[in-house]
Structure 1
């Protein structure tokens, strides 16, 4: 005889129904969870009401509805303002609002003082990726390991989960580290497109070359990580920093010839030059990290 019993779905409260909050809510609703939502601008929650969500008149009312409370608001200050009058005793608060590591740690202490367990989150996805397992989107979580284990299945409904550790600041730290690397990549891509813009070269023809090249270069992060771990920045170096700095002259000269501003490149190039001037020309670029670490200055 086949067991057709329905596995109970954890009911939850979601604070914030902007683009990301709405995508999260819809995924949980589609998976059979009872979802209570609240948004400062009530009209933005109406579409979710039509899809089965219960709409609370206040954040405090929404918090009272369920033990699992998820916040996806504008910023850390918005979280504090929304929850100021709510009774958090016995609640599990998961904060998916974008913030800094320090804000995550402070908010964790704030929640514990009010009797709640706390997880901070960093969403590595944009709204269209939510609820699409093939998209590769996921969320970093850090804070209470007990809370994470208890609600892991529920949290995994909209996107994959990656637990970053008990330190509540680690989710935001991982999030910002990856986004910072992405920003550098976008800067390079923008400069590349600017170089070809005056010529009879279609951006759509350069794009696959950029993707292939950046994909081929990305594993250099593994070598950099190993060098940072060992403290030896010279082992196995193929193209040393002195050689790279010499090559930068060609990059800058080409920018001049193409009448393109080098401002996206020069900050990093200046750091490379400083590292060589300090006598580290035989390293790869990993040593630049030393110049960025303000604790070592």
Structure 2
């Protein structure tokens, strides 16, 4: 069958695990699956997957194992007692967790002679297999390179982040934080204009326009932060200018009966950094509110 269609085992068949297995099947890889609830494998089996009766059978079926379960503890429980069977296998863990858990798992599996990659999926199940879908991986670069063509079946944006097994988890939580912060700001904005009977759909294109402008600002801020000189030149607006505008948002929200916790939080942070002597700096100086004191 050739290396480009090597057997793959997928352990864990939640919505994401099912999507992963389906992508391998679609590309012609012999695919073995296992899940505690075997009924979740029914559709995959009808499409050609082989259902393993036990985790041991699943591990034995392929040299490339992809695990996507709810937690690292669940992964450990599923693979408990299979140390010898795992030796020499490639284990790609796509279970969500912390950077500490990823590093700990890498250390544990490494001692067993397992070739381990830790990764995260930055897309929902329907996006698996799309060219724009991003998956991050870390670990031994040779292992990643050897299996990159197969892993790219899960997303064209498959990206190697280096040898530090914890990096995918760090990218995962930081990007999710960006997402939630953006969602909350968008919804707060919808609530503000909604008091004047402006619909969310009417507001939406202007929100999109402003997000594009924000990308331009953050490009400048990233350069200022990476320069590491603490200068933070105000190429667009000073922090004190931002603060005065933010006070208007707080005032409007209070006057309109819209929750003010989100803008108040930003105001408090901004006033803290300004009090440290950054009134004339750009918004990039706000990084000091989030960095470790030694940074």
For this structure pair, what is the TM-score category when the shorter chain's length is used for normalisation? over 0.9
Aligned to 2:91: 93
Tell me how far apart the structure 2 counterparts of residues 26 and 234 of structure 1 sit (CA, whole Å). 48
Tell me how far apart the structure 2 counterparts of residues 296 and 288 of structure 1 sit (CA, whole Å). 15
What's the Cα RMSD here?
1.7
Does residue 225 (structure 1) correspond to residue 222 (structure 2)? The answer is yes
Larger mean CA deviation between 76-85 and 273-282 belongs to 76-85
Alignment match of 2:18 (pick from 18, 22, 36)? 22
Aligned to 1:145: 141
Does residue 125 (structure 1) correspond to residue 136 (structure 2)? The answer is no
Contact 1:131 1:158 in 2 (8 A): yes
Q: 1:251 to 1:76 in 2, by over 3 A?
A: same
Alignment match of 1:71 (pick from 53, 67, 71)? 67
| Alignment TM-score, normalising by the size of structure 2 | 0.94
Count matched residues. Answer: 291
How far residue 200 of structure 1 moved from its aligned partner, in angstroms, is: 2.1
Aligned to 1:61: 57
Larger mean CA deviation between 193-202 and 34-43 belongs to 193-202
Q: 1:130 to 1:230 in 2, by over 3 A?
A: same
Alignment match of 1:282 (pick from 280, 285, 290)? 280
Contact 1:252 1:262 in 2 (8 A): yes
Contact 1:233 1:286 in 2 (8 A): no
How far residue 220 of structure 1 moved from its aligned partner, in angstroms, is: 2.2
Contact 1:25 1:48 in 2 (8 A): yes
How far residue 19 of structure 1 moved from its aligned partner, in angstroms, is: 0.7
| Alignment TM-score, normalising by the size of structure 1 | 0.93
How far residue 111 of structure 1 moved from its aligned partner, in angstroms, is: 0.9
Tell me how far apart the structure 1 counterparts of residues 231 and 37 of structure 2 sit (CA, whole Å). 53
Q: 1:287 to 1:33 in 2, by over 3 A?
A: same
Alignment match of 1:292 (pick from 281, 290, 293)? 290
Q: 1:269 to 1:296 in 2, by over 3 A?
A: farther
Alignment match of 2:105 (pick from 97, 104, 107)? 107
Alignment match of 1:195 (pick from 186, 192, 195)? 192
Does residue 205 (structure 1) correspond to residue 208 (structure 2)? The answer is no
Tell me how far apart the structure 2 counterparts of residues 266 and 60 of structure 1 sit (CA, whole Å). 54
Larger mean CA deviation between 79-88 and 116-125 belongs to 79-88
Alignment match of 1:47 (pick from 18, 43, 57)? 43
Gaps of 5+ in 1: none
Tell me how far apart the structure 1 counterparts of residues 64 and 165 of structure 2 sit (CA, whole Å). 17
Does residue 36 (structure 1) correspond to residue 9 (structure 2)? The answer is no
Q: 1:78 to 1:233 in 2, by over 3 A?
A: farther
Tell me how far apart the structure 2 counterparts of residues 248 and 91 of structure 1 sit (CA, whole Å). 55
Alignment match of 1:177 (pick from 154, 174, 177)? 174
Structure 1 segments, 4+ long, off by >6 Å, are: none
